[in-house]
Structures are given as structure tokens and as C-alpha cells.
A and B are shown apart, each in its own frame.
Chain A
Amino acid sequence: MRILCVAEKNSISKAVASILSGDTYQTRNTGNQYVKNYTFDFNFQQWGPSSVTMTAVSGHITTLDVTAANKHWEHPPPETLFTCPVRFVTPEDKQSIADNIASQARYCQALCIWTDCDREGEFIGSSIVDAAKKGNPRIQVKRAHFSNIEPAHIMQAVSRLGELDYKQVAAVAARMELDLRTGYAFTRFLTLGLRPLGGPLSGNTISYGSCQFPTLGFVVDRYFKVKSFVPEPFWSIKVSHTKDGITANFSWFRNRLFDRASVIILYERCLAAKRATVKKVQEKPTKKWKPLPLTTIEFQKVATRLLQMTGQQAMSVAENLYNKGFISYPRTETDRFDKGMDLQGLVRKQIPSDRWGRYANDLLNGAFQRPRDGRHDDKAHPPIHPVTFAAPTVLNDQERRVYEFVVRRFLACCSDDAKGMATDIEIEYGEERFNAHGIIVLERNYLDVYIYDKWSDSAELPKFTIGERFEPTEALMTEGKTAAPGYLTEADLIALMDANGIGTDATMAEHIQKIQEREYVCAVSRGNRGNRGNRGANEGDGDAPAGRGGRGGRRGRGGRGGGAADGGSRGSNSVKEFIPTRLGVALIQGFDRMEFDNSLGKPFLRKEFEAKMKAICEARTTKDAVVRETLRQYADVFSISQERFSVLKTACREYVFDQHGV
């Protein structure tokens, strides 16, 4: 038999070839400089002794596009894009890859797909099948299911070949069609419609994406929340008591009230009572739970918070680590380890580390505990975990940080919870109740390796007994003021997208990157925001990230100020916050003010669509039904947007040009 194997990237192809051949493969060049063909012999359970050609694509080899008749922006009108013919084509730069597959298929009886095991990978697999069938229409097709390139895992995958899942292929095809049609239609409509306003709108492409806009919507919503915030004073009562040289601070059960007179009344009654009575003394063991196994979304949130990188950077670093075989596939929703996995074996691989090797060793010598089980399982990939040990010398700085995090998280999962003793003392003072809370950490356990969590002893509390009466050393009425929330951080934004069904764990970081590239939003270092009170929506205008692709990308957008707010802080390590640009605000306000049920700046439409894609994968509906329904919804929004376009223009005049009431 002759077998053709095709992976999603050359690095995976090479790794799998090396595993299957025991490092005795031969390398041949193809028409594409990034793709090699590796040939070797292998004895398949399925096909017996075979000679194998292992090759790869380089991501998608097809793309959906409109026909030449719809390429022009001015004609036919944008609404035709909802119904015009579309077709899959092979872009020029991918032609040599497709040709390689077709010509190799000619000599092979079977094709084995080794693309990444997620929806996109399934779709790429189906395009590979199409390309192969051009060379050999009768070629047999199998699919390998794997989630990392650790040799034993790959050998297991090759012994259990399955089929391509065409339901997932259909879901991706639906997504591509929706994105293409709505993206083109609204982008052309917005760009052409707003161009007459002049200024920065005359030359720029106003790009629309059905995930980008709700993402931008979250940023704009928070911006207005911060901007319109009204601080208010509140009052509270604090009681402290010193006994045996130790001071206990008690906090008020009511926490705080927004009325001074009421707090005075209650405070006076405390003072009038003179003595407080101890109502409850409770000491009980407490725990700080070890973290859950790592999902992509959790990984991105932590990376933006603790590893000083953006979600997208973190993902691409993680992908490199996966391609090199150091960690498992980094796109996963699963937060529970399969019962059959040899977790201790994975822990053992970390012993060589001079930083956490001792800890790993201790786990193997009896401290090992099964990880907690989360509630998510995508049935395709395990949680992100280290596959082999990577010496720090083989990694660059960013890779080192990500790898260290993945390993520490994994070792923490295999550890015991941190344990401590919590003390709660409740007193009644007048009619008011107060509470003091203390913690003593007894066993650090996972905290020793998971340096990202903090848990430490709180101040010690003096001994109290129930029924004890005392005159508090101090009882104060205090005053405070509410503070505005912060602008959204990337971790906040990812959490919002996740909760509202915008994008998938695999694509969120890209959408966040997109709205920055489109200059709808800019990232500013927290604490570097300067005179916040006077800030308009113009921060960072002109701080155009380099490399805006696409048509008509004239740089140097109008607007004032700009640049300085952000420029100085680039590369600093503080957390970044997102602030919308004037254009970003105008677009969201414009659509929101049109007042239809499904503003494009709200997450509802896209959320519904993401749910429908899931339904396609679970065979609860079909691609055709979903595409038809969803396109009708967006076409409705489109026609209302056309009708009320003046509302959007007014918002642009107001926010981009500072012209009010025009």
C-alpha cells in the first residue's frame, strides 16, 4: 500500500514522520518552500506494511469568495452581497500546496488526515480531501485524532484512525459564508456611506465583522460607564478592640450605608450601649482550592494579567510550544483530565527542572493528588498541559514564561489544596452586628509551585469567648466615596466575550487584535492615563498600529492629541486597558441609537449564531438552515441600517468631528 498523510503545518508533519519512522525518513522538497514531503515505511494496523508520504498544508488552502461580478465596491449595491453567488477558491499562494497533494494522491490508495483536532482543522481536512481527489478520485480517507505530538500518544492515534466529522466541516463553512457576506456588505456600506463626511472617514475602510462589533461594543459600554460615573459618599462604622496586646478589627454587618443621618443614629446607639457582647466564636478548617485544569480562555486571561503579553501573543507562543512538542494542543475548552491519562508520568518528566523538579519529585513520592474536575469537556482535547520537559535554554523569553506557567499550573493541579484555619468572631454592639475574620495558613501545598496565587496569614486575632462583654477600644464612624470602575482589561474583555458567546476560545484574541488594528480601540497602560477627568474619546487617535492591511488604508487619521497617551508606555509591564477611539464610539453609538432590537454593537445576534454552529456540530440543524436564517436576520438589520443611516452619520459628526446638534 502507499499512504498519503497530511498535517496542518510542516512542523507537525515532520514530528509525526519522525515518530512513525523512528527517525528514518527521507526529506523531499515540494513546490512550496515551507512544505516538505517526508517518506518512510510504516506498518499500519489498517493497511499493513506501507510506504508513506507525509506532507502538510499551511493552514487553510481554500477561501470563500464572491465572483468577479461582485468585486467592485460601487456596483452592484452592497445588499446584493447577502444573496450573490459565492464559491471556494484556492488562493494563488496555496496553489502549489494543493498541487503537491493532488500529485502525491495519484500514487496512493489511502489518505490520512493529521490536521489539528478542532473545527477549523476538520474543515482544512475536508479541503485536503478535495485536493487529493483531484489527483485520485477513489482515494480512501481516514482521520487521525491526537492532541499533542508525544510519541506514545501519536502511536496510539495511528492505531485508532477514524473518520472526518463533516458536521464540523459544515459548521465552519456556515461561519465562513456568514462572515464573508456580512463582512463585505456592511464594510462596503459603511465605508461608502461615511466617506462623504470627509476628514478621517474619506480615505479609510470602515471594516465590519460580526464578532468585532460586539467586542467593540463592550469596550464602548464600559467607556461610557466610566465616563458617566457619579461618585457618592457613604458612611460606615468600624470597631476595634485590643486585648492581650493584640488588636482585632471588626467590620460592620451592614458594610456601608449611603445616608449619613441613618449611620449617625445607628452609631449613637452603639456608643450608648457602651459594651459589646461576643455572639459567636468559630474556628474551622478552611482551604484555598488548587486551580482547575487549564483551558484556552483561562490561559489567555492569566497570560494578559500575569505574563505581560496580549492574548494573541500568548496563543502564538503556546502554538509554537505545541508545534515543538513541549505542550499539548493549546486550543481546548476542557477543564478535566481523562481518568485514563498517566498524570504521574507527566509529572515525572518535570524532575530535571532545577526550579520545580524537586516539587515534582515530592508529588511522585506521595504528595500527588488527582486534579479537580471542571464542568467543561469538548471531547476533543485534554486541558493544556506539559508533554515533555523543555530545558530553559531551548526556549526564548516569551516561550519560557508561557511554558513555566503551563507546567506550574499542571503541577498545582496534581497537588493538594492549601489548608488553613479560619476564625470568625461576631459581636453585637448596641443593636448592630460586627464581624472579625482571621486566617492562619497551615499547609501551603500547591501554593509552593503555583507562584501566581497568594494566600497568607491575616493579622492574628485575640482570644474571645462566647458571651464575653467588653467595651471596645475604639468605635469610629468612617466616610468613604464610591469610585468609578476601571476601563476593560484584556482579561475582562475575554471574560465578557466568553460569557456572551462572542467568538470561540480560539478566535477571541484575534478579534481583540482586529479592533485595535482597525483603530476602533487602543490599549493604554493602566495608571498611565493622566488627567482622566478631561479625557475625551480621542485617546490614542493617530496611534495607528502599523500594518493595517487592506484597501485604502491611508494613515494619519485626524483627531487631536493622540499618540502621546500611549506611545510612552509601550513595552512597559503594567496591565493594559482598552479605550475606544472617537471612531469606535461613533460606530457603536450610531448603531445603538438606531434603536432596533439587534444593534450590531450588541452581542445577541452573534451569540445566537455561535449557538447554531454548535447545533450543526451536534446534528440538531443543518448548515443550509442556519445560513438562511442568520443571513435573513443580518439582511433585516442591514435594511434598517440603510433606512436610519442618518443616525449613524449624526453620531460620527458628534464623536469624530465634535459637531453637536448638526
Chain B
Amino acid sequence: MSVSATQLCITVQAQGLPRPADSWATSLIQSRNPAPPFPALVATAKSRLLASDWTTAGLLDANSTISFPANIASANVQQTRLSHNVYVQVLDIENLSKSRWEQVEELEAIERGEQTRGREIIRLPTGNDDNEVSDIGSTQATQALGATQIGGRQAAANAAAAKNWTHRLVIQDCKGQKVFGLELGRIDRISIGSTNIGEKALIKAGTSIARGTLLLEPTNCQFFGGKVEVWQKDWLEKRLGRLKEAAAVSDPQANARR
């Protein structure tokens, strides 16, 4: 064998990701026959890692999967700091700057195939009504749709993120321990629509932990991208229901009406 599993693991680690387990690397190498060039192999290893659930046993090297301290989620500790780097994956994301109901209304409009731009109601492309668009008069609408067409209907929900938006993530270390991550300083790549469920990140040593919540800033965390396809799909499908439920819970009158 020309490539050693150790070599592959070291290279992946050198690129900032956690070091995979030797056994995982070995089976990856063996599954590729004839062996591809080394850079291609590294790329494959990285993309598989980013698409995997990092709590899976035997995936990561035990030494690179240091977890959060056991008491991290304690709400009694007003302020402490993370003593070491921790690799994590994102399980959930909320935009705390928008009411749930506002988000429900946006999602329902998109389900109806509409989006509003200011006061104008725009019909979103469904993929099969292109030929219904006549060439006269609808040019404006077509142009407006151009931008959203790329990402389809889902992207339409992801309007330009505001500078003062505050998101809260649920993140999970490689041992399965979950903790909230609150955006203390705006991190541009975090937003609903661009942050995927299962996305991977590194939380750096020194990060503040307040009342069981990690306070994230651009300088104390690094996002690698990636997603776990089934989690993402499930999250998207259930989002509307979750938001509706959460909005209703926060409204005592609605509860009384039930």
C-alpha cells in the first residue's frame, strides 16, 4: 500500500479538522482501488468527515475528541472559560432577534409560493410554470425572481442577514454532550439558511461560558461547513411545526384558548 493511514490522518489534522481514527482511515484507503492520488484521497476523507456524525464510535481519534467539561451546562456558574479546544457539530439554530410568529408567517408565505418584497407580493418559481410567464410585462417579476431562483424556495427565506441579529445554536461535542452557543459578537456565516444542521466547528480554548451557555464570537470559533443530510432534512421539515408550537407556548392566551 502506497499511502499509510497515519499519513492521511496527519494531513487531515494539519488542515484544522480533528484527527480521524487510524482504522477509519485504513478502511477508507482500502475501499478505493486503485488508490487515487493522495490529494484526492485527502479531499474524500475531509468531505466524508464533514458529512458524518462526529459522535459515531470509531470515527475520530480518541486523543482529538476532547469534550466539554462535565458541568458545562450548569446554570449556576455565572462565568468561566473553556480550558481547551473542542470540536463540535451544530444540532439546531434559532434567530432570537425575530419572533417565532414572524418566521412562521415567512415560511407559510413561501409554502404558498409567495414572497414579499416591501409591499409587493412576488410569486416564487415552482419549476414548472416558466412557460406560463409571457414575455411582456413580466420581465420585472422575472428579474426579481432571478436571484431567488438559484437557491430555490428555501433560500428565499434567507433574506439579507442584519448586523444586529443574534442567533443561538445547540452544539454537541464528540461525546454527545450538548450545550447552547449564543452569538455574543455577530458571526457572519451563522444564519438560518446558510448554517446547516450537522455543520462542524472548533470552539477554541478561552471561550467564555456563562450560565451554561457558550458565548461565541468570530475570534473564538472556527466553522468548517459540512452537514448531516438526514438531520438537515428533518430539521427543515419540522421547522414550521416547531416554531408554531414555540410561539403558542410563549402566548398564555393562546394556551387558554386551546
15 additional contacts (CB under 8 A) given A265-B182, A611-B138, A611-B140 = A225-B105, A230-B104, A232-B101, A255-B97, A258-B97, A258-B99, A258-B250, A262-B168, A262-B182, A431-B215, A499-B119, A608-B138, A609-B137, A620-B136, A621-B136
A612 and B137 within 8 A (CB):
yes
Q: Which residues of A contact B123 (CB under 8 A)?
A: 597, 604
B63 on the A face (CB < 8 A)? no
B237 on the A face (CB < 8 A)? no
B184 on the A face (CB < 8 A)? yes
Closest to A603 in B: B121
Q: Which residues of B contact A495 (CB under 8 A)?
A: 119
Give A499 to B123 CA distance when docked, in angstroms: 14
- A:248-270 near B, CB below 8 Å: 253-259, 261-262, 264-266, 268-269
Partner of B119, one of A232, A261, A264, A500: A500
Per-residue CB contact flags for chain A residues 609-642 toward chain B (1 = under 8 Å, else 0) read: 1111011000011000010010000000000000
A232 and B250 within 8 A (CB):
yes
A265-B213, A608-B137 in contact; A255/B98 too (CB < 8 A)? no
Q: Which residues of B contact A259 (CB under 8 A)?
A: 94, 96, 168
9 smallest A-B Cβ distances: which pairs? A611-B137, A499-B119, A257-B96, A499-B120, A230-B247, A232-B99, A615-B136, A232-B250, A230-B101
**Taking the nearest CB of chain B, how far is it from the CB of A351, in angstroms?**
40
Closest to A636 in B: B132
A230 and B119 within 8 A (CB):
no
Give A230 to B253 CA distance when docked, in angstroms: 9
A254-B164, A254-B166, A255-B164 in contact; A229/B101 too (CB < 8 A)? yes
Per-residue CB contact flags for chain A residues 586-618 toward chain B (1 = under 8 Å, else 0) read: 000000000001000011100111111011000
**Taking the nearest CB of chain B, how far is it from the CB of A113, in angstroms?**
29
Closest to B184 in A: A431
A257 and B79 within 8 A (CB):
no
Q: Which residues of B contact A234 (CB under 8 A)?
A: 99
Q: What are some 8 contacts across the A-B interface (CB < 8 A)?
A: A256-B97, A257-B166, A258-B97, A258-B250, A268-B210, A269-B79, A431-B185, A626-B136
Q: Which residues of A contact B96 (CB under 8 A)?
A: 257-259, 262
Determine which residue in B101, B104, B213 has the highest number of CB atoms from chain A within 10 A of its CB, and name it.
B101
A232-B101, A258-B96, A608-B134 in contact; A264/B211 too (CB < 8 A)? yes
Partner of A499, one of B78, B97, B118, B215: B118
A269 and B210 within 8 A (CB):
yes
B97 and A262 within 8 A (CB):
no
A482 on the B face (CB < 8 A)? yes
B234 on the A face (CB < 8 A)? no
Per-residue CB contact flags for chain B residues 86-128 toward chain A (1 = under 8 Å, else 0) read: 0000000010111111001100000001000011110100100
A272 on the B face (CB < 8 A)? yes
Give A225 to B253 CA distance when docked, in angstroms: 17
B136 and A611 within 8 A (CB):
yes
**Taking the nearest CB of chain B, how far is it from the CB of A481, in angstroms?**
9
B160 on the A face (CB < 8 A)? no
B248 on the A face (CB < 8 A)? yes
A232 and B247 within 8 A (CB):
yes
A629 and B134 within 8 A (CB):
yes
Q: Which residues of B contact A626 (CB under 8 A)?
A: 136
Give A495 to B98 CA distance when docked, in angstroms: 25
A259-B168, A614-B137 in contact; A500/B182 too (CB < 8 A)? no
**Taking the nearest CB of chain B, how far is it from the CB of A231, in angstroms?**
5
Q: Which residues of A contact B182 (CB under 8 A)?
A: 262, 265-266
Give A614 to B94 CA distance when docked, in angstroms: 45
Q: Which residues of A contact B248 (CB under 8 A)?
A: 230
A602 and B247 within 8 A (CB):
no
Q: Which residues of A contact B105 (CB under 8 A)?
A: 225
A254 and B251 within 8 A (CB):
no
Give A255 to B98 CA distance when docked, in angstroms: 11
B251 and A232 within 8 A (CB):
yes
**Taking the nearest CB of chain B, how far is it from the CB of A429, in angstroms?**
13
Per-residue CB contact flags for chain A residues 209-233 toward chain B (1 = under 8 Å, else 0) read: 0000000000000000100011111
B121 and A233 within 8 A (CB):
no
The total of chain B residues at the interface (CB under 8 A) is 41
B253 and A231 within 8 A (CB):
yes
The total of chain A residues at the interface (CB under 8 A) is 45
B70 on the A face (CB < 8 A)? no
Q: Which residues of B contact A614 (CB under 8 A)?
A: 137
Give A254 to B95 CA distance when docked, in angstroms: 12
B97 and A500 within 8 A (CB):
no
Q: Which residues of A contact B99 (CB under 8 A)?
A: 232, 234, 258, 482
Determine which residue in A262, A612, A614, A615 has the highest number of CB atoms from chain B within 10 A of its CB, and name it.
A262
Q: Which residues of A contact B168 (CB under 8 A)?
A: 259, 262
Q: Which residues of A contact B247 (CB under 8 A)?
A: 230, 232
B1 on the A face (CB < 8 A)? no
Closest to B128 in A: A597
B185 and A265 within 8 A (CB):
no
**Taking the nearest CB of chain B, how far is it from the CB of A307, in angstroms?**
22
Per-residue CB contact flags for chain A residues 119-160 toward chain B (1 = under 8 Å, else 0) read: 000000000000000000000000000000000000000000
Partner of A232, one of B78, B100, B164, B210: B100
A258 and B119 within 8 A (CB):
no
Determine which residue in A256, A257, A610 has the highest number of CB atoms from chain B within 10 A of its CB, and name it.
A257
A15 on the B face (CB < 8 A)? no
**Taking the nearest CB of chain B, how far is it from the CB of A120, in angstroms?**
20
Q: Which residues of B contact A229 (CB under 8 A)?
A: 101
Determine which residue in B78, B99, B184 has the highest number of CB atoms from chain A within 10 A of its CB, and name it.
B99
A265 and B250 within 8 A (CB):
no
B159 on the A face (CB < 8 A)? no
Closest to A492 in B: B119
- B:118-177 near A, CB below 8 Å: 118-121, 123, 126, 129, 132, 134, 136-138, 140, 164, 166, 168
A482 and B101 within 8 A (CB):
yes
Partner of B129, one of A257, A265, A597: A597
Give A262 to B182 CA distance when docked, in angstroms: 7
B254 on the A face (CB < 8 A)? yes
A230 and B78 within 8 A (CB):
no
Q: Which residues of A contact B94 (CB under 8 A)?
A: 259
A496 on the B face (CB < 8 A)? yes
Give A225 to B109 CA distance when docked, in angstroms: 11
Give A258 to B98 CA distance when docked, in angstroms: 7
Give A626 to B123 CA distance when docked, in angstroms: 21
Give A496 to B164 CA distance when docked, in angstroms: 29
Give A607 to B138 CA distance when docked, in angstroms: 9
Q: Which residues of B contact A629 (CB under 8 A)?
A: 134
A262 and B137 within 8 A (CB):
no
Determine which residue in A265, A609, A612, A614 has the highest number of CB atoms from chain B within 10 A of its CB, and name it.
A265
- A:74-105 near B, CB below 8 Å: none
**Taking the nearest CB of chain B, how far is it from the CB of A522, in angstroms?**
23
Q: Which residues of B contact A268 (CB under 8 A)?
A: 78, 210-211
- B:176-193 near A, CB below 8 Å: 182, 184-185
**Taking the nearest CB of chain A, how far is it from the CB of B246, in angstroms?**
9
Closest to B136 in A: A615
B132 and A597 within 8 A (CB):
yes
Q: Which residues of B contact A611 (CB under 8 A)?
A: 136-138, 140
